[in-house]
Amino acid sequence: MSQRGYVADPAAIKACCAELYSSDLATLLLGDTLHPGGTATTSRLAELLGVDSSCLVLDVACGRGASAIHLALTTGCRVVGIDLSDGNVQAASKAAQRAGVADLCAFMTGDAESLPEPSASFDALICECALCTFPDKPTAAREFGRVLRPGGVVGIADITRTGAGQRDLDSLTAWVACVADAHSIEGYAALLAGAGLRVENVEPHDETLLSVVERVRARLVVGRVLGAVRSGASAGWDIDRAQELATAAVDAIRGEALGYAIITARRQ
């Protein structure tokens, strides 16, 4: 169950996330990276984690591979990207070939709560705006710790949520949109600590989230006028609820109930 109002159905959440974040609608609304801050956030994570050409990095919930490809291009590291959507994995592999880093990037279908990778095999792990959507966060955090080598580092960039919830932020739509089960910074830190990871850095990036949500709200309005969101509606995505959620999210960010943060931790 969520910490708040929505009773979680893990299978439904995962299916909705996989469908939405592999759709053209998600790219239309969020851009290629599918997370606040885009490649600037990814670069900051790489800096904090000390990623360089000697590193093997795991990108959990990699989407269409934008972050993995960016890391390979800018640091020369090797990256394995894992995503729940077969379509995203195929798109990421093609994008890596086009970018000329297919030798550095590999993508596969997998679940963050049961990573298809050996224990102690990665130097670093990133997870951008995705842990908040995982139904079983403690298990996912333990998986993060399991696949890291001793001394390895994890970096998450995610939505944070504090205080009493608003009704508009507690639905399945809100969960899939990364809001309903987002934790506080302290909550994420506790998850990582419970997985044997020692938190080293915490950085707030609330303005980055506000910029993205305001852009999404505007694109929903324009897209409806132009018919660009029709495919999302025909696939069963509730566009009206998405617009209501975006407005509620803007108010929550301005009221400091929602935010965005980078958190890094090291396997002990």
- CA distances 247 to 159, 216, 218, 250, Å, are 16, 10, 10, 5
Tokens of 23: 């759709």
Residues 6+ apart with CB under 8 A from 33: 39, 41, 42, 63, 66, 67, 128
CA diameter of the chain: 53
pLDDT the model gives residue 105: 98
CATH number of the domain that residue 99 is part of: 3.40.50.150
d(CA 162, CA 186): 10
- Does residue 174 belong to any structural domain of this protein? yes
d(CA 60, CA 219): 27
- Does residue 244 belong to any structural domain of this protein? no
- Does residue 261 belong to any structural domain of this protein? yes
- Does residue 246 belong to any structural domain of this protein? no
Dihedral (CA of 174, 129, 8, 84) sign: positive
- Does residue 249 belong to any structural domain of this protein? no
Q: Which residues of the chain have pLDDT under 70?
A: 1-8, 20-21, 23-31, 33-34, 163-180, 221-239
Nearest to 82 by CA among 45, 57, 101: 57
Cβ(139)–Cβ(42) below 8 Å: no
Dump the DSSP string for 84-121.
Answer: S-HHHHHHHHHHHHHHT-TTTEEEEE-BTTB-SS-TT-
d(CA 204, CA 200): 14
Q: What is the dihedral of CA 104, 99, 60, 91, to 10 degrees?
A: -120
pLDDT the model gives residue 238: 63
* Helical spans, DSSP H, in 34-101: 38-49, 66-75, 86-99
Cβ(154)–Cβ(51) below 8 Å: no
User: How many CB atoms within 10 Å of residue 47?
Assistant: 11
pLDDT the model gives residue 76: 98
* Count of H-run helices and E-run strands, the chain: 11, 7
Domain range spanning residue 159?
10-21+31-206+256-267
Total domain count, the chain: 1
- Does residue 62 belong to any structural domain of this protein? yes
pLDDT the model gives residue 149: 98
157: left (phi over 0), alpha (psi -120 to 50) or beta: beta
- Does residue 220 belong to any structural domain of this protein? no
Cβ(169)–Cβ(5) below 8 Å: no
pLDDT in tens, 179-188: 668 899 999 9
d(CA 107, CA 110): 9
Q: Nearest 5°: phi and psi at 265?
A: -150, 155
pLDDT the model gives residue 112: 96
- Does residue 126 belong to any structural domain of this protein? yes
